[in-house]
Amino acid sequence: MAEGERMMDGLKVDLAAYFADLETYRMPFGKFGPERRPPDGLRVVERPWEYLHWFLERGGGFPKGRLGELMEFVYEVKGSGAGEVLAPLLEGQQGRVES
């Protein structure tokens, strides 16, 4: 297998892992967390770009760990204008989706 093919396979695996986690990862705190959006809070992928941007501008950056990685991923995808790639994760949200 060529170096480029191995690299593409690795990217596919990484992307699949992001999408799998984005299906279920929810905000554990704040205005979109379980205290204000019971019972479980809203999913990271449902957060608007502006909310994610706030973490960089005033919040001191994204949280550590997988939550922060997912928030950054969604921030970058939505900020680059490629938010449509997240559409399959947002289907069935009945207008609640904020991009």
- pTM passes above 0.85: no
Q: Which residue has the tokens 């949200």?
A: 93
For each of the chain's 99 residues, which pLDDT tens digit applies?
A: 788 788 888 888 999 999 999 999 999 999 999 999 999 999 999 999 999 999 999 888 999 999 999 999 999 999 999 999 999 998 866 444 444
Q: Which of 14, 20, 15, 22 is nearest to 44 (CA)?
A: 22
